Amino acid sequence: MTPDQSPLGKATAYTEQYDATLLFPIARRTAREQIGIVAQLPFFGTDIWNAYELSWLTPRGKPQIAIATFYVPADSPNIVESKSFKLYLGSFAQTRFDSIDAVRDTIRRDVSACCGATVSVQLTAPMDFGKLGLEEFDGLSLDRLDLDTDVYAPDASLLKAATDEAPVEETLYSNLLKSNCPVTGQPDWGSVQIHYVGPQIDQASLLRYIISYRTHTGFHEQCVEKMFIDILKACQPVKLAIYARYTRRGGLDINPFRTNYNTPMPDNLRTARQ
């Protein structure tokens, strides 16, 4: 199942009756092979999805709403193509369910089957919306740097680190991440946080590298994994964790997290742009 076979970029009939067949899986393997991952993964982590356009009917026909959060393990064989996810969630709109738990269990079963791994699903009801806060990345902002750049396709040779000096531990972030959908060409805007232990990474080189994704085509998860591999190879950190939060499109935001050491999963709190 390749992206060009998905609903992306095609005229689509929208159904409001539940239909699990709308979910479209895309294998992770193909994109990983392109960046040299052919056997054991050099990282683990999770893709955190948030869906803001979920509604269904009670048995008596009254509409209900919720915000849905999905935790997809990075070692799942597939991701879900995002437009198919939107269509799938839209199919709940005129479908009657006995309870919010029935909705959650249905989604968990279907999305897990599509991804080929157990996906955790949380539904936040309106009474708890006020508990969902905002939070910006902590760490040192790379965007404060005043620099010149003219590279807008990913180039790992931009990355530099002081491999002959004592290791450091740093958390750096940028809000200047942009890539493009590999099917439609639509822009994907995001922020990325990088925590590492190892040779100090030249911050200007890292910002230029992040900016270099500006014309790159790739799904969110694939962009973060390419960043991980490039930084790991070029800068040789002992520990590395990368977390990206992308702005929502079609009522969905996707937030990949990858790490090579045991560290708590980051909070799923929206940035202001999300």
Tell me if residue 4 is catalytic.
no
Produce one character per residue of 172-186: b if its CB has 16 or more CB atoms within 10 Å, e if not. Answer: bbbbbbbbbbbbeee
CA separation (Å) from 5 to 2, 84, 198?
Answer: 6, 11, 42
How far apart are alpha carbons 20 and 89 in whole angstroms? 9
Burial class (CB in 10 A: 0-12, 13-18, 19+), 80: buried
What is the identity of the amino acid at 227? M
Which ranges in 46-201 belong to alpha helices (H)?
A: 82-90, 100-115
Tell me if residue 188 is catalytic.
yes
Which of 188, 230, 235, 253 is the catalytic position?
Answer: 188
Residue the block writes with tokens 């064989």: 77
Nearest to 246 by CA among 221, 224, 274: 274
How far apart are alpha carbons 222 and 41 in whole angstroms? 13
Produce one character per residue of 24-53: b if its CB has 16 or more CB atoms within 10 Å, e if not. Answer: bbbebeebbeebebeeeeebebbbbbbbbb
Q: DSSP character for 204?
A: H
Give the CB-side neighbour count of residue 29, counting CA atoms within 13 A. 9
CB 218 within 8 A of CB 254: no
Q: DSSP character for 217?
A: B
Which of 181, 223, 230, 253 is the catalytic position?
Answer: 181
Q: Are strands 252-259 and 44-57 parallel, antiparallel or unpaired?
A: antiparallel
* Active-site residue list: 181, 188
